[in-house]
Structure 1
Amino acid sequence: MDVRRTTVRDMRRSNRSVILTSIYRNGPLSRYELGHETSLSAASVSNLVGELLAEGLVEEAGSVESDGGRPRVLLRVAPKFAYVVGAEVGETRVRVEVFDLSMKVLATTVYPIDTPTPAPELAVKYVLQGLESVINAAEVPKDRVLGMGVAVAGVVEGPADAVVDAQTLGWDSVPLGAMLAAGTDIPIQVDNGANTLGQAEMWFGAGRGATDAVVALVGSGVGAALVTGGTSYRGTRSSAGEWGHTTIMYGGRRCRCGSDGCLEAYVGAEGVLDRYRLAGGVVDPGDDEESAFIALLDDVDSSGIAAKVVQDTIGYLAAGFADLVNLFNPERIVLGGWSGLLLGERYLPQIREAVGKRALRQPYAQVSLELCELGRDAVALGAATLPVLHLLRNGGLPHHQAAS
């Protein structure tokens, strides 16, 4: 093997990756700004940008005045160069969306799920149906779809050929990656939903600029993405971030995972609604979980039971956040997930105050607690960043060139 040739090829791919990632994450940028951001020489920047422009992966996006010289041309990743698909397999629905490279959503389809423990085969069926549906609806050429990211609950060992263990769904070592790949020739990557939400928020949302952060997903279930030094922390086998299954109360409520006293049993939407019913609150049997949760929040001013359940939920959530503050000393905590946002949009100041009462004073003074900026459905968007990340890491090179 020619070591020098391999080194030159790898360096070229690495430098393309650095340039492309900078443009994608921080663009539009000029060549001058790229040189400062990447520490590459002006000649290297010019050559690599020339390649990317010729390939159509990067395009010009206007210009800005420079100090006394000619205007500087701005560069961005071409939105229509390729497309990506993101899917969220949730407890109540499967959501599939197709995006261009600017992460503009082009088409969406949603399949309701009537059971909290859907069979893996049902999830696979809906994801693959959704893939075809959104591609057709957006009239996207299939050969220009880079890939599909799929977000699920539980521990995911992958993302390629992913095996999923999700106790709350009743999934035990499900070969979800292989099951999905058998139904399409589009590349598939699978990851935990909290991790995909975390990546989306760190790239495009409330996590931008932070290097040590926690992005919390609070929906029917509860999870978290941990970011340290700007890199996702996943643990030995990718199960880090199962914050919802930390114990908040010894001998407490039974959690869906089979243990007692988990945080999820107290702040996950399913657990909150169950506590409300047990306290004597009335939930319309015709309501889906999201509608029931909204009705509970709307009843706070007229129902002492609803007010008590919501205040307790704020307390439990704040205790969970205080644990994160004391354990990880993050600079930022981002609260996301559909029920987390519904709660945070109404009660963020109270949540912050309650965290301050429970966390150590010094680390709490160093953290900000913010709401997810990408909305309640950001998990599917986050899933779609998985094939984008693959593109950036390969420097936009075709797969056979990147792997050779």
Structure 2
Amino acid sequence: MAGLGGRTVRDLRRESRSAVLQRLYFDGPMSRYALGPATGLSSGSVSNVVAELLADGLVEEAGSVGSVVGRPRRLLRIRPDSGRLIGVDVGETRVRVELLDLGLSELAWTERPLAPRGYDVDAVVGHVHEGVAEVLRTARLAPADLLGVGIGVPGIIEDAGEEGAVVHGQTIGWDAVPLERLLRVTGQLPSHVPYFIDNGAKTLGQAEMWFGAGRGARSAVVVLFGSGVGACVVTEEAAQGRAVEWGHLTVRVGGRRCRCGAFGCLEAYAGAEALAARWREAGGRPSAGAGEETALTELLAAARPADGRAADPVAAAVLAETAEYLGAGLSDLINLFQPERVLIGGWAALQLGGGFLDEVRAHALAHALRFPAARVGIELGRLGPDAVTVGAAVLPLAAFFARGGSRPRTVTRVVPSPAWRAALDGRLA
């Protein structure tokens, strides 16, 4: 039966359940009485939906609150143990896999290091499979019990229909990699457990907007500052965020060669990989064989020694120049999108800390137009180095809410059989 605006009764019921679940998740515990105005539903609809969610085991009572008249009102909250999610961060130096409950409390985690420039597709797929198997084994959980697996990766993500999510990661050497199909073809997870694959900067943005420094803002730019740099723009028109290849904005015509192959990109000056390389080129001497994280730690110690020694002028100059490039890049985002907040996360940003942020902020506000600059706040993200992983887990969580708390259905995308199976079938035909 069609309802208002062509929606069926089932659609309306799902939307009502979704509204109640989201309000309890973000604002709970809440009473039935408070859920009415918070969701726009009638008291009768709220009672019916809550009864269903209690029967489904998604919601539980959580004490009571006094009332001006009548009996105390019972509070409701989402049961954290009513669902399990996995978040995966395919980062610059490692693949991190976390198993979380609906409250996004960590139940198990594991990491697999990547070799330098180690974005071999088979290796990454293997790390994800091994990590998922390990966290499920640690928690003694069956794969079928998962609500989904969210994965944050570098690059542009394309929905290619039956192929699933395809990754175009020019800086990591991935050319139209059918990552979802490669993950699905092993049959590690049942077909009804979905994969959600998105850009790592976007998953960082999801996490900060839901739980971190972006909560309550109507618009924000969330910057991922790691080996490279990326950004997620959140506006009222793009409430879930939109990843932008901000790191490949040209900041110097004919400048340094970027790892994407072009010249003069912001990432060639402001990413941690470029920062360490520029320090070496200027005469800096990080430890032999030092990776990006170690080199960045040593550069920071040289530029800002904690023991009262004089700062190394080469390290200090490289760090100051990086802050200026990053600030100028932020000013473009401020001018273009006029956000309420700019949030900077990622392991490199957190490692460089508040003093570096102060310099970046000063340059950003100096380069931006006065009106948007006067309205924007620039700060570090609050969720720490695992924000991309948490944000990846938000992807299946958001889908769970959108379905009104129903379990995922069987995935209908067709996964081609391995070549050996096709050949065998051909002989038997």
| TMscore range, shorter length | over 0.9
- The correspondence of residues 68-83 of structure 1 with structure 2, limited to 5 A, is 68-83=69-84
Structure 1 residue 153, shift from structure 2 partner: 0.1
Q: Which runs of 5+ in 2 are unaligned?
A: 305-310, 413-429
Residue 294 of structure 1 is matched in structure 2 by 297
**Where do residues 66-105 of structure 1 align in structure 2 (5 Å cutoff)?**
66-105=67-106
| Structure 1, gaps ≥5 residues long | 235-239
Structure 1 range deviating more: 94-103 or 66-75? 66-75
Task: Determine the C-alpha separation between the residues in 1 that align with 2:277 and 2:32.
Answer: 56
Q: After alignment, is 137-146 or 184-193 more displaced? A: 137-146
Q: CA deviation at 1:307?
A: 0.6
Report how far residue 324 of structure 1 moved: 0.8
For residue 369 of structure 1, what is the amino acid of its counterpart?
I
Equivalent residue, structure 2, for 1:232: 240
Matching of residues 5-404 of structure 1 within 5 Å: 7-158=8-159, 161-183=164-186, 184-185=188-189, 186-229=193-236, 231-234=239-242, 240-301=243-304, 302-400=311-409
Q: Return the alpha-carbon distance in structure 1 between the equivalents of residues 21 and 373 of structure 2.
A: 36
Query: How far, CA to CA, are the matches of 2:101 and 2:157 in structure 1?
Result: 26
Deviations, residues 318-355 of structure 1 (Å, cap 9, x unaligned): 11111111110000111001101222333222222222
Report the CA distance between 1:57 and its aligned residue: 0.7
Letter of the structure 2 residue corresponding to residue 212 of structure 1: S
The amino acid of 1:321's aligned partner reads: L
Offset at residue 70 of structure 1 (A): 2.7
- Runs of at least 4 residues of structure 1 off by over 4 A? 400-403
Change (3 A) 1:139 1:402: closer
Q: Output one character per residue of 1:256-281: Cα deviation in whole Å (capped at 9) or x when no partner.
A: 11111111111111010011110000
Cα distance in 1 for residues equivalent to 2:339 and 2:195: 32
Contact 2:57 2:79 in 1 (8 A): yes
Secondary structure at 2:64 match in 1 = strand
The alpha carbon displacement at 1:33 in A equals 2.1
Deviations 1:30-69 (A, max 9, x none): 2222211111111111110111011111112222223344
Q: CA deviation at 1:141?
A: 3.6
| CA distance in 2: counterparts of 1:401 and 1:282, whole angstroms | 55
**TM-score of the two chains, using structure 2 as the length reference:** 0.88
| Secondary structure of the corresponding residue to residue 307 of structure 1 | helix
Structure 2 CA distance, aligned partners of 1:67 and 1:266? 61
> Partner of 1:231: helix, strand, or coil?
coil
**d(CA) in 1 for partners of 2:30, 2:321:** 47
Structure 2 vs 1, CA of residues 30 and 140 (structure 1 numbering), >3 Å: closer, same or farther? same
Structure 1 or 2, whichever has the larger Rg, is: 2
- 1:188 deviates by 1.3
CA distance in 2: counterparts of 1:166 and 1:322, whole angstroms:
25
Query: 1:237: which partner in 2?
Result: none
Separation in 2, partners of 1:206, 1:31: 29
**Contact kept in structure 1, 2:202 and 2:241, CA below 8 Å:** no
* Corresponding residue for residue 419 of structure 2: none
SS of 1:99's equivalent in the other structure is strand
- Summarize deviations over 1:226-275 as a string: whole Å, max 9, x none: 111161353xxxxx411111111111111111111111111111010011
Aligned to 2:420: none
Compared CA separation, residues 274 and 71, structure 1 to 2 (3 A)? same
What root-mean-square deviation, in Å, do the aligned CA atoms of Structure 1 and Structure 2 show?
A: 1.9
Task: Look up the equivalent residue of 2:384 and give its one-letter code.
Answer: G
Q: TM-score, normalised by structure 1?
A: 0.94
Return the alpha-carbon distance in structure 1 between the equivalents of residues 410 and 143 of structure 2: 21
1:160-185 CA-partner distances (Å, limit 9, x unpaired): 81000001110000000110112222
> Aligned pair in 2 of structure 1 residues 262, 66: CA closer, same or farther (>3 Å)?
farther
Fraction of identical pairs, as percent: 50
**What's the secondary structure of 1:14's corresponding residue?**
helix
The amino acid of 2:278's aligned partner reads R
Deviations 1:330-387 (A, max 9, x none): 0011100110122233322222222221111110111111211110121111111111
User: Retained in 1: the 8 A contact 2:324–2:359?
Assistant: no
SS state at 2:406 partner: coil
Q: Look up the SS of the partner of 2:135 in the other structure.
A: helix
Contact 2:194/2:408, CA 8 A, preserved across alignment: no
- TM-superposed CA distance for 1:117, in Å, is 4.3
Is this contact kept in 2: 1:13–1:402, CA < 8 A? no
Q: Secondary structure at the match of 2:384?
A: coil
Alpha-carbon distance in structure 2 between the residues aligned to 1:400 and 1:284: 52
1:31/1:73 contact within 8 Å kept: yes
How has the CA–CA distance of structure 1 residues 50 and 142 changed in structure 2, closer, same or farther, with 3 Å as cutoff?
same
Partners of 1:159 and 1:95 in 2: how far apart?
26
Q: Secondary structure at the match of 1:377?
A: helix
Residue 6 of structure 1 and its aligned partner are, at CA, apart by 6.3
Give distance in 1, aligned partners of 2:31 and 2:255: 57
1:114 Cα offset (Å): 1.0
Change (3 A) 1:263 1:41: same
Q: Give the match for residue 422 of structure 2.
A: none
